[in-house]
Amino acid sequence: MASSSAIQIEIASAESNDQNGSSRCHAPDEPLPGLLGELAGVDLVDIASMLAEGEARFAGVDTIPGGAFRGWSEQIEPTTARVLALYEEGDVAETAAVTVNDVGSGRVFYIAGAAIAETLKRLYATIASGAGLATSELPDGTEAVTLERNGETLLVLLNHRDEERFVALDGRRRDLVSGADQEREVRLGPFGVAVLAPVPAAVETA
């Protein structure tokens, strides 16, 4: 879940349910997507599997970009949700592929399939932008987390790969791990970590 001061956002699909019955969102005697469907404002009609190279493509009908599912996709029927994207072809053509449902002061987005990586990046970026959340481009295998400490925001970067990665910075920061100031980018060694703090601006004296 991502949140801003104004709204909370949940992004989900039937894959969010643990189908072995241990999930809080799905009981064995409930049809998928279980309690998640009530939040998302959709009913699940059918699930389709695809061959390795098969794709189910969809087009946005609002500000949501189009994209593709690979592996499996769902046919869903909105109950209270609004449709943001429609399947382009096949038996499910012109039915919902991405929806949004207003819940209290928040919104629940439902993605009806296993979206490919590039599709997810575009969807997440668009949804985050609409909620007033900042996003950043990160190299493959890296993660960024923000922490608050004594009134300042720390940026924690983690490299989950066994190869070095370089992460671009939007300003000068001090790496609390190495003690070095970083200007335009920071190098993360294999499985490396950086904890970056803002560098106070220099005070000019008369």
| pLDDT band per the 50, 70, 90 thresholds, residue 38 | confident
100-115: buried (b, 16+ CB within 10 Å) or exposed (e) per residue? bbeeeebbbbbbbbbb
Domains 2-130 and 142-198 share a fold: no
Domain boundaries defined on the chain: 2-130, 142-198
* E strand segments, 160-203: 165-168, 173-175, 181-182, 185-188, 193-198
Provide the percentage of residues in the chain whose pLDDT is more than 90: 55
Helix (H, G, I), strand (E, B) or coil at 37: helix
| pLDDT band per the 50, 70, 90 thresholds, residue 18 | very low
Identify the pLDDT of residue 25: 45
Other Cβ atoms closer than 10 A to 84? 23
- CATH classification of 142-198, choosing from 3.30.450.40, 2.60.40.1180, 2.60.120.10, 3.30.70.1140? 2.60.40.1180
Q: Is 0.75 surpassed by the pTM of this model?
A: no
d(CA 19, CA 28): 8
pLDDT digits (tens, 9 = 90+) for 99-145: 999 998 889 999 999 999 899 989 988 988 888 887 778 899 999 99
Contact 111, 79 (CB under 8 A): no
For domain 2-130, the question of CATH label 3.40.50.880 is answered with yes
d(CA 192, CA 162): 9
Exposed/middle/buried for residue 53 (C-beta within 10 Å: 0-12, 13-18, 19+): exposed
β-strand partners of 163 = none
d(CA 198, CA 172): 7
